[in-house]
A = this chain, B = another copy of it.
């Protein structure tokens, strides 16, 4: 687990271990505030944001922008790398679920357009609501 950090050339600091572990164990995507509350009030804002950025760049996690104006983060080393990715946003409880096998394969882009990456946001109501 923590080897992931070293493998990416990231030093294994206490915060990074806790952050990666927390996201790994989270069933859903977490916002900055969720994370801060989970890890303890004392964690520094910029350090946390910088680490989220570093993790994302390293491909350890991915960032989801569910139109709420607040990014959410999910562990993503195991997920598809850089290809199609779908997220379900519950309009009632605001939970963001990662949808694994959403065949959003057939997307027709106009002539001359090159698709690199597809992100789908599905809005609706989740099973819990």
Inter-chain contact A117/B122, CB cutoff 8 Å: yes
Q: How far is the CA of A58 from the CA of B75 in the complex (A)?
A: 37
In the complex, which residue of chain B has the Cβ closest to the Cβ of A64? B67
A8 interfacial contact with B, CB 8 Å? no
A-B contact pairs, 29 of them (CB 8 A): A63-B67, A65-B65, A65-B67, A65-B69, A67-B119, A86-B107, A88-B113, A97-B110, A99-B109, A99-B110, A103-B106, A103-B107, A104-B106, A104-B120, A106-B106, A109-B122, A111-B127, A112-B127, A113-B124, A113-B125, A113-B127, A114-B124, A115-B122, A115-B124, A117-B123, A117-B124, A118-B121, A118-B122, A119-B122
